[in-house]
């Protein structure tokens, strides 16, 4: 073995030159701290192949050389016999060759502080207990191992490695992005991360789950294919990511070989369970695995696969397991080779159909706990839909589309929904004039309403669905689709037709005894009168609908009801009433995830924030609103485009072009969770604190006399002294102070003094 000498220590390292490590600060700090503890003698760096265990061990070794008398790095991958662990260590330490191996090692180590790094131990575990024997006779020995498996030694401190961090708000902060860019530069020295390739680089990192080896092999492919094409190729990473560096170990030259090395270490039963896990995309629960395997004893298999670093566990949503995508693809290939593959896929599809129909929802979105679960199972639901379509089971596919409808609506996934529905409608069992076809067409119309640009196709969906519902005598189904048709009429400029249809619907729902839908139609009539500029009539319909909406307690409808009222007050210039309604709406909306609601709400909040004097924050909110619209792939109606442009122009005139553009870019990058948190804080703040001092001068709500009182009270004068200076009574001073506290929503004189100082309030007299 080549040695690399470091002054002050005897070091045998096979890696004299290494590029700076990216990320791993947490793991390095943990491992470093563990190895400095007197009670810790063995640290196992554990993770799947290609996760970066060896590189972390190398970095850790280099950082610890000054702490030990002797540092030795031993590569164990070439060994095939577990009995050769100690002889390999003996050779690396140059122990006496003619003594029993253990005795020679103990004598060589002696009382010295020795760090022994054993790389790739997972295939030699039958004799790993030899390390415990060695540690028992060498009190100052520390061992670091890298392994894909848990060692199951009492002296072991397990340190599992996660993938590199993926892009979030700031792409450049992602460790996976940093590594890919650095590796891409080794292929093309001119490669730089910029606005043109940023989304593609992010996509590569996400597709490969931040797995360092996969990123290395993907970057190498840039020699042969442009980045855009590489993203498409990575749909099947095991086929693409091969032919790695010839100076790397053979198992690290292709992703398939890397995963295959771990797979070969499993027992036949474990391999079978591993293959079944490949049917899940994005993870699964224990209940899901039990349902799909038909076995009640999956717990032990989960433990084994986690300990082999082929599964990752998380405590989210009560416990889930997942695979890195390259590992999952390998498992799926093994499943496809299994004679039981059809049964597995059938049980998988049926399980997720049953799960979807258990969900609780509001009018057009799921309740919060179910929304989180559906987001986690998104890919599994799509896998189930794909199976039903492939097997020509339109009725089951319709049931699943119906159950997914509030999820798709709430998350703004309307184009996704329509694409799936169209595929179901095109199946042989989806084409006949059946009740499930009528339902599917109605769902498609409902999603089309949310897009704002597909009115002709939406009306076709509606007319065929209405016709089928009439054939089957389904009056309620017919009326529900007519609601969608009215919205489509609104969007295409047929306001009178929409209003006539809704008046007809009022009678229909009254006859059907569906008061919930009566309330919804009343609200919809109100929105139509907003667009017509007849605000009094709009408010009258909203008032008529409110008692039934409150009785039902559906927070989605109540939140939208308040939003629509806020729109009326915004357009009529009643800022206080608009603020009151929008605050109520925002509080209701906190309980739901509905992108359509968020999109509407952010625009009104931006207007209110601008009115309060915070033009920079208002610009960020308006930008975030536009980002939500683009995420939903929703077209902009001409009337709303005009409103947006007018608001943008108002903000430009306040901030100037450069500051406006800077704030707009910031709004595009900020996460929705952070934006929502900032709006929460803005609504929660007292009126006087909502604007920054530099954005807002003295609010007009205070009279000149009140300003004088505030200034003197803030300066520390008593009520009697203030009264004397202003020539008024002491009781009048107290009354002014009380009025100001109420206007500014402040709690006491201390807050009032702080507010006066912040806003530079001074009296008009001295």
Regarding whether 293 and 195 lie in a shared domain, the answer is no
- DSSP 8-class letter at 234: T
Regarding whether 374 and 304 lie in a shared domain, the answer is no
What residue numbers bound the domain in which 46 lies? 10-160
* CATH number, domain with residue 287: 1.10.10
How many beta carbons lie within 10 A of that of residue 607, not counting itself?
23
- Which stretches of 715-748 are DSSP H helices? 719-726, 730-744
Domain assignment present for 540: no
Domain boundary among 383, 412, 432: 432
In three-state secondary structure terms, 312 is: strand
Q: Do 115 and 142 form a contact (C-beta atoms < 8 A)?
A: yes
Q: Which pLDDT value is given to residue 716? A: 79
Domain boundary among 312, 338, 364: 338
* CATH number, domain with residue 615: 1.25.40
- Which stretches of 411-514 are DSSP H helices? 414-425, 435-449, 455-471, 475-491, 495-512
Regarding whether 153 and 26 lie in a shared domain, the answer is yes
Q: Which pLDDT value is given to residue 530? A: 93
Q: Which pLDDT value is given to residue 5? A: 41
Domain boundary among 513, 548, 578: 513
Regarding whether 424 and 334 lie in a shared domain, the answer is no
Q: Which pLDDT value is given to residue 45? A: 97
Domain assignment present for 310: yes
Sign of CA dihedral 720, 723, 727, 733: negative
Regarding whether 355 and 226 lie in a shared domain, the answer is no
Span 598-636, pLDDT tens digits: 999 999 999 999 998 899 999 999 999 999 999 998 988
Q: Which pLDDT value is given to residue 13? A: 64
Give the HSE-up count for residue 41: Cα atoms under 13 Å, Cβ half-sphere: 16
Regarding whether 117 and 33 lie in a shared domain, the answer is yes
Q: Residue 74: enclosing H or E segment and its boundaries?
A: strand 70-75
* CATH number, domain with residue 715: 1.10.10.10
Which parts of the chain register pLDDT below 70? 1-16, 243-253, 317, 686-701, 757-766
Maximum Cα–Cα distance across the chain: 108
CA–CA dist 292, 380 (Å, integer): 12
Give the HSE-up count for residue 695: Cα atoms under 13 Å, Cβ half-sphere: 19
Query: Domain tally for the chain?
Result: 7
């Amino acid at each position: 073995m080549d040695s690399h000498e470091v002054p002050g220590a005897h070091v045998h390292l096979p890696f004299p030159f290494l590029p700076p490590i990216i990320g791993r600060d947490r793991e390095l700090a943990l491992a470093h701290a563990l190895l400095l503890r007197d009670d810790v003698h063995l640290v196992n760096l554990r993770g799947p192949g290609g996760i970066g265990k060896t590189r972390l061990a190398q970095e850790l070794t280099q950082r610890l050389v000054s702490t030990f008398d002797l540092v030795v790095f031993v590569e164990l991958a070439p060994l095939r016999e577990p009995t050769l662990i100690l002889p390999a260590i003996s050779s690396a330490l140059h122990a006496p060759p003619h003594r029993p191996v253990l005795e020679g090692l103990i004598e060589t180590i002696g009382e010295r502080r020795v760090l022994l790094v054993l790389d790739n131990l997972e295939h030699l575990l039958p004799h790993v207990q030899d390390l415990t024997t060695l540690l028992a006779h060498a009190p100052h020995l520390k061992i670091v191992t890298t392994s894909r498996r848990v060692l199951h030694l009492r002296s072991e401190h397990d340190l599992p490695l996660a993938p590199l961090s993926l892009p979030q708000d700031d792409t450049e902060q992602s460790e996976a992005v940093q590594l890919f860019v650095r590796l891409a530069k080794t292929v093309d020295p001119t490669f730089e991360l910029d606005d043109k390739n940023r989304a593609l680089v992010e996509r590569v990192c996400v597709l490969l789950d931040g797995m360092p080896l996969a990123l290395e092999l993907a970057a190498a492919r840039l020699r042969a294919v442009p980045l855009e094409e590489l993203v498409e190729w990575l749909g099947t990473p095991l086929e693409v990511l091969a032919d790695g560096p010839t100076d790397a170990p053979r198992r690290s030259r292709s992703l398939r070989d890397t995963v295959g090395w771990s797979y070969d270490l499993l027992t036949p039963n474990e391999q079978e369970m591993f293959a079944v896990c490949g049917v899940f995309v994005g993870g699964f629960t224990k209940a899901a695995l039990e349902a799909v395997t038909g076995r009640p004893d999956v717990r032990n298999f989960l433990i084994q696969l986690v300990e082999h670093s082929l599964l990752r566990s998380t405590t989210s949503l009560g416990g889930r397991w997942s695979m890195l995508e390259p590992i999952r693809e390998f498992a799926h290939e093994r499943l496809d080779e299994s004679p039981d593959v059809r049964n597995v896929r059938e049980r998988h599809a049926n399980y997720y159909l049953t799960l979807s129909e258990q969900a609780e929802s509001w009018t057009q979105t799921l309740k919060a706990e179910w929304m989180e679960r559906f987001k986690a199972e998104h890919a599994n639901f799509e896998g189930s839909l794909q199976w039903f379509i492939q097997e020509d089971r339109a009725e089951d596919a319709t049931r699943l589309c119906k159950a997914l409808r509030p999820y798709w609506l709430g998350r703004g996934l309307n184009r996704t929904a329509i694409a799936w529905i169209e595929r179901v409608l095109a199946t042989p069992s989806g084409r006949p004039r059946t009740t499930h076809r009528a339902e599917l067409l109605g769902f498609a119309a409902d999603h089309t309403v949310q897009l704002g640009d597909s009115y002709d196709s939406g009306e076709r969906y509606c007319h065929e669905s209405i016709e089928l519902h009439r054939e089957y005598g389904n009056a309620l189904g017919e009326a529900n689709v007519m609601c969608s048709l009215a919205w489509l009429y609104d969007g295409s400029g047929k306001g009178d037709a929409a209003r006539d249809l809704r008046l007809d619907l009022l009678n229909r729902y009254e006859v059907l005894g569906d008061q919930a839908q009566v309330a919804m139609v009343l609200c919809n009539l109100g929105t139509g009168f907003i667009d017509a500029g007849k605000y009094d009539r709009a408010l009258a319909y909203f008032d008529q609908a409110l008692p039934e909406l409150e009785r039902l307690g559906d927070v989605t409808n109540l939140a939208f009801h308040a939003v629509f009222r806020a729109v009326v007050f915004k357009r009529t210039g009643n800022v206080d009433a608009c603020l009151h309604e929008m605050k109520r709406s925002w509080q209701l909306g906190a309980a739901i995830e509905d992108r359509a609601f968020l999109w509407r709400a952010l625009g009104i909040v931006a207007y209110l924030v601008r009115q309060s004097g915070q033009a920079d924050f208002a610009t960020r909110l308006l930008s975030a609103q536009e980002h939500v619209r683009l995420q939903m792939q929703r077209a902009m109606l001409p009337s709303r485009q005009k409103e947006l442009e007018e608001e943008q122009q108002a903000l430009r005139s306040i901030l100037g072009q450069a500051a406006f553009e800077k704030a707009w870019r910031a709004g595009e990058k900020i996460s929705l969770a952070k934006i929502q948190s900032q709006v929460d804080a803005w609504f929660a703040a007292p009126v006087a604190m909502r604007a920054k001092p530099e954005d807002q001068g003295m609010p007009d709500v205070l009279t000149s006399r009140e300003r004088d009182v505030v200034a003197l009270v803030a300066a520390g004068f008593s009520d009697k002294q203030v009264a004397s200076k202003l020539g008024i009574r002491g009781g009048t001073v107290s009354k002014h102070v009380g009025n100001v506290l109420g206007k500014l929503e402040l709690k006491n004189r201390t807050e009032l003094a702080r507010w006066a100082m912040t806003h530079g309030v001074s009296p008009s007299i001295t």
